[in-house]
Structure 1
Amino acid sequence: MLELMADAVPDRLALVAPPVRLTFGELDARVDRAARLLRGAGVRAGQHVGIYAVNRAEWVESMFACMKLRASSININFRYVPAELRYLAANADLTAMVVERRYLPTVAEILADAPDLRALVVLEDGTHPADDGGIGALTAPGGALADRGIRLVEYEGEPADDGPVRAPRSGDDVFVLYTGGTTGMPKGVLWRHEDLFHAAIGRPLPDGSQPRVLADTLAHTANPPLRYMVMAPLMHGAAELSLLISVGTAGTAVLWCGRHFDADGVLRLAAEERATSMTVVGDAMARPLADALAAAPGRYDLSGLLAFSNTGAPMSGQVRDDLAAALPNVFLLDSYGASEFGHNGSATGGRRVFQLTPDTAVLDENLEPVVPGSPEPGRIARRGAIPLGYYKDKEKTAATFPRDARGVRWVVPGDLALALADGTAQLLGRGSTVVNTGGEKVFPDEVEDALKAHGAVFDVAVVGVPDERYGERVVALVALRALVPAAAGAETGTAPPGGPTTAAELLAHTRLHVAGYKVPKEIHIVDAIARNPAGKPDTVWGRTTARRLSDEAAAVRAATEARATAAHAPEEVNA
């Protein structure tokens, strides 16, 4: 797809990743060079190459370079702590990794447990060039990993391989997208390139028809390019797919490359580059943007903006209303999809009611369509162009990709919905206990295991409670080994009197085991964790209790702040 566009419109701007600007021809040449570099480092067809970096042009180049070699790029969350990276490197069978220098110390900690990892391609990021995280000592003669033959390669170094990289490829080549799984650790979703194109990338052509083959996408070159503002990290599927859509429509991808989300910075970039569309992931991105627009009306010239879309996490009605007020001439759109689905439907009314695509349905427990208008919820499912399954997980693949009585294969990730009488579907939420906080999937089992590793903890239940900005926030209910009754309305960050440990200590402990976005925003000490007969935490009790304790703690904080304000207020003087 990239090569088609590079041949057809080589001088059209393809990528803006400040400070880098690349035309399609320049991007394709840079991708060829990266592919030769990876091939020279030993990467072969079918192998997996991790990309461990924040948004930057080289992230894009590395992803396409893997495709040229018929290898698969593996998206790595740059927030991972060593334990999480260790799991991913081993589970994905990484043979090479494109990594920013600042992350080499983390890589050094897991190298011994990643036996297939043979090449590290280093991206410079301002870290001292001599800092290799200790990998040099590990791999040098006499080092603990000297016999592994691990190579450090500079990304901008001269490729040892100068052969061509344009070669016959296949729709059966595999694109791997790591996403969360019910065990709490990510799963690799395996997509055939052809299926991914039809499920998630191909967009209607200028004449309104759907592209049937890649060459059909050349019709987009007849129109001026759309400018897609990609704000989410490329380690997330929503951002990767947005990038591929941009290339597949001969558009320009404008990539936010800040290490942190900055609403003002994003809006300035969107204005400077005349973005025609912006895509957010729930309120975590939409709320700051809405606030920034409201705080300075007219500061940002977004007159070129045509569409503002949301995907990956719910956007609240209030935020939607605020955006509509700030951007009255912009089309607001909610898109429904998943890593295992692709694009499955769209909504414009803000009620999480979607018009599903023709190959998507709401099914009952027998994989039969739910009768429209039925009060009973079903699970959203898709057939046709769907993934092959999960990498190295036959059990999860069998459960998520079942066949119905007619032999039709479906993908059923677990989202619950009502089939409405008018043919639309109202999304109710995840069928599992996953916490979706700002588009990040946090799995309770993983956080519970981290907390239980603390010696003072007896039992834990981790749940999500509603959050104005992030949709949900992670809250942990903890029963300590010392049976001290919890104080009613105890504030976050404190433990009941006489308790052997504090919530602050538990938070610090948890940060050693999981990425920051998974660490509970609140920890409440309780007497015991209610469990169902199967021994699993009672999720209804957990969510109700967590929300009550959160509300009580917030009320205590508000009362304390009010008393402090009153104590410092000047006394009235009678005239």
Structure 2
Amino acid sequence: MALGTFRSSATAQFLRSTILQSARFCHHNKETRQPLMSYAHGASYVPLLNHTIGQRLRMAVDNVPDKELFIFRQSGIRKTFAEFLEDSEKLATGLISLGLEKGDRVGMWGPNSYEWVVCQFATALAGFVMVNINPAYQSTEVKFALQKVGVKALISAPSFKKSNYYRALISVVPEIASGSEDCGAVRSHELPEFKHLIMLGEQSHRGAWKYDDIIDAGGSDAKATLNIRETDTQPDDAVNVQFTSGTTGLPKGAVLTHHNIVNNAYFVGRRAMYHHGKDILCVPNPLYHCMGCVTGSLSVVVHQNTCVFPAPSFESLAALKAVNDEKCTVLFGTPTMFIDMLNHPQFSEFDYSSLRQGFMAGAPCPIELCRRLVNDMNMRDIQIAYGTTETSPVSFMAILDDPPEKRVRSVGHILDHVEASIVDGQGRTLPRGQRGELLVRGYLVMQGYWNDREKTNADITPDRWYHAGDVALMNEDGSVQIVGRTKDMIVRGGENIYPTEIEQFLFQHPLIEDVHVIGVPDERFGEEVCAWIRLHESAEPSQVTTETLKEFCTGKIAHYKVPRYVLIKKEHDFPLTVTGKVKKYELREISKVELGLDQVKSHFNE
């Protein structure tokens, strides 16, 4: 059976012809026989928006007040656009009543929940900057996040799965434990900017406000202040900080503006055909990640659709049930998520006839997986997206008028109003078909990394080109293929993992002399973490195993960063360059053979 069929549209045909004609007109000179260069500009007849998130929410409420906006199935919460705006205003005024000023950072730490999206829009309404904190973070990581961006108020779940967030916060800020119940005024020597802790749920916690009490705290004065703040907030104001790991081993806080993410949500939605307002999106992806909170929760507001969250974190059965019960038309996921859904033993029990599209990002997608999604889940308009947190996040997407086989062999075409270039080591644009580093420029490039001019300047050139860190090639029609990574990054199930961060942590182990972390192929996650370890001379190999290393990591670094494979090596086993640097490429090849992974099919292998 073919990969699938799809319905074309006048909009899709116009979009495709505009992109292709623009690319050929600008970059192919028949008279001088100049080759097509690896540069593309997303020429568009649709202008950029000049709206804040709050303005887009109010526009949607004016148009469809009684339409369902968010459905959180596990908690049974279903809210219309009008109800959601009211809840967002209540949280905004409650935070204002605590004394928060325009530009203050408000952190959110926890899994997917209705309170998460309320926080997302309440902070935008009030002119605050929301800080997304990964629910897998442990105490060391959350302390760094709070400290780095100067979080003034933190909204947190009490716990989730094996993580006890409240206990972790007490280890970071011991003063919390001596506070009064239902009073979240924080005074911390190490985190002087951290002033308020707000806990979700009905249970009281010492040193913390109850979320429900904050919701009810805003009075008429706070409401008047909110009206002023909304008027003062401009599209170019910062609205969101999302952490993305860096090669230095410490997370970087990418600062995104209203203009960045409102427009990205808008043009991603137009490319995916969400702008008709008739879609029901099922989003099992985490909200702390750009895919969840920009292409998911923000996109449905911008395009006035409905968004379904199956569970607080990804559960394949919950996602399948949500599609069946809510008649979802679009299903989000990373390749790993889709693999788990297709392989679930109860997969055949559910109806997928309502689906028209699978929206996939976070890692390269095997073509065989796409075939199964089209044929087994009715995703005839399967959509592949590519981007980074620093680009709000999506910069490339397929055009639905492209044949499906072609669609899944690349990450698609540059988005509207965005430029892309593929360059050599000297920054010169290469002819199409040649591999080089991918650069992106346009409205979607972040303001920079919070309070880190050095790293900002390293990733964004003076003329605002962002170094995506991937090796790519541009096809003749302007579509792009990602063929490798310039940054030493592991992509595990859609999570970006930087080896240096894990290496620096493992160096704290008393028996480890040297460590180098690499990615090795994995059929389910795409890649897994493998650590090459050299022990102190006094140590025995039996003292450091995969299990003992897991115990050392548990509760200190996120679970997905913990090495699955541990190889104990001698000094002479590490392949070195003439300057003494470890050849990580050779480590990967040796590891594949030693671990029996050289035949594993994944995005690790080109």
Q: Distance in 2 between matches of 1:535 and 1:414?
A: 24
Amino acid at match of 1:182: T
Deviates more, 1:331-340 or 1:162-171: 162-171
State the structure with more CA Rg: 1
TM-score, normalisation: structure 2 = 0.78
- Does the 8 A contact of 2:359 with 2:384 survive in 1? yes
In the TM superposition, residue 107 of structure 1 has moved relative to its aligned partner by: 1.1
Query: 1:554-565 counterparts in 2 under 5 A?
Result: none
1:538/1:266 Cα in 2 relative to 1: closer, same or farther (>3 Å)? same
- Which position in structure 2 is the counterpart of 1:546? 591
- Which position in structure 2 is the counterpart of 1:95? 152
In the TM superposition, residue 257 of structure 1 has moved relative to its aligned partner by: 2.5
> Could you tell me which of 152, 174, 178 is aligned with 2:238?
174
In the TM superposition, residue 160 of structure 1 has moved relative to its aligned partner by: 4.3
- Does the 8 A contact of 1:434 with 1:441 survive in 2? yes
- Which position in structure 1 is the counterpart of 2:167? 105
- Does the 8 A contact of 1:232 with 1:256 survive in 2? no
1:184/1:321 Cα in 2 relative to 1: closer, same or farther (>3 Å)? farther
- 1:105-156 CA distance string (max 9 Å, x none): 111111243221111111017xxx24x3xx54xxxxxxxxxxxxxx634334
Q: Does 1:289 align with 2:371?
A: no
- Does the 8 A contact of 2:439 with 2:465 survive in 1? no
In the TM superposition, residue 368 of structure 1 has moved relative to its aligned partner by: 3.4
Q: Distance in 1 between matches of 2:422 and 2:336?
A: 28
- 1:171-205 CA distance string (max 9 Å, x none): 12212222222223221112221233223434566
1:536/1:247 Cα in 2 relative to 1: closer, same or farther (>3 Å)? farther
- Which position in structure 1 is the counterpart of 2:505? 450
Deviates more, 1:521-530 or 1:14-23: 521-530
Q: Distance in 1 between matches of 2:582 and 2:553?
A: 20
Query: 1:217-296 counterparts in 2 under 5 A?
Result: 223-241=276-294, 242-259=296-313, 261-281=314-334, 283-292=335-344, 296=347
Q: Distance in 1 between matches of 2:347 and 2:268?
A: 35
Q: Distance in 1 between matches of 2:268 and 2:515?
A: 46
Q: Distance in 1 between matches of 2:409 and 2:351?
A: 29
1:389/1:4 Cα in 2 relative to 1: closer, same or farther (>3 Å)? same
- Does the 8 A contact of 2:385 with 2:411 survive in 1? no
Q: Distance in 1 between matches of 2:269 and 2:111?
A: 31
- Does the 8 A contact of 1:86 with 1:110 survive in 2? yes
1:384/1:59 Cα in 2 relative to 1: closer, same or farther (>3 Å)? closer
Amino acid at match of 1:361: S
SS in 2 for 1:532: coil
- 1:516-562 CA distance string (max 9 Å, x none): 1100011111112334355543211221122122118999xxxxxxx
- Does the 8 A contact of 2:200 with 2:210 survive in 1? no
Amino acid at match of 1:254: V
Q: Distance in 2 between matches of 1:85 and 1:527?
A: 35
- Which position in structure 2 is the counterpart of 1:356? 414
Q: Does 1:318 align with 2:368?
A: yes
Q: Distance in 2 between matches of 1:184 and 1:199?
A: 28
Alignment RMSD (CA, Å): 2.6
- Which position in structure 2 is the counterpart of 1:410? 465
Amino acid at match of 2:520: V
> Could you tell me which of 487, 501, 524 is aligned with 1:432?
487
- Which position in structure 2 is the counterpart of 1:7? 62
Q: Does 1:332 align with 2:367?
A: no
Q: Distance in 2 between matches of 1:412 and 1:431?
A: 10
Deviates more, 1:247-256 or 1:499-508: 499-508
Q: Distance in 2 between matches of 1:552 and 1:324?
A: 28
Query: 1:354-433 counterparts in 2 under 5 A?
Result: 354-357=412-415, 358-374=418-434, 376-403=435-462, 408-433=463-488
- Which position in structure 2 is the counterpart of 1:471? 526
TM-score, normalisation: structure 1 = 0.82
SS in 1 for 2:595: helix
Q: Does 1:69 align with 2:112?
A: no
Q: Does 1:117 align with 2:194?
A: yes
In the TM superposition, residue 353 of structure 1 has moved relative to its aligned partner by: 4.7
SS in 1 for 2:532: strand
- Which position in structure 2 is the counterpart of 1:345? 396
- Which position in structure 2 is the counterpart of 1:60? 117
1:155/1:182 Cα in 2 relative to 1: closer, same or farther (>3 Å)? farther
SS in 2 for 1:197: helix
- Which position in structure 2 is the counterpart of 1:198? 263
> Could you tell me which of 359, 367, 372 is aligned with 1:309?
359
Q: Distance in 2 between matches of 1:531 and 1:231?
A: 43
In the TM superposition, residue 480 of structure 1 has moved relative to its aligned partner by: 1.2
Q: Distance in 1 between matches of 2:368 and 2:593?
A: 23
The percent identity for this pair of structures is 25
Q: Distance in 1 between matches of 2:69 and 2:532?
A: 48
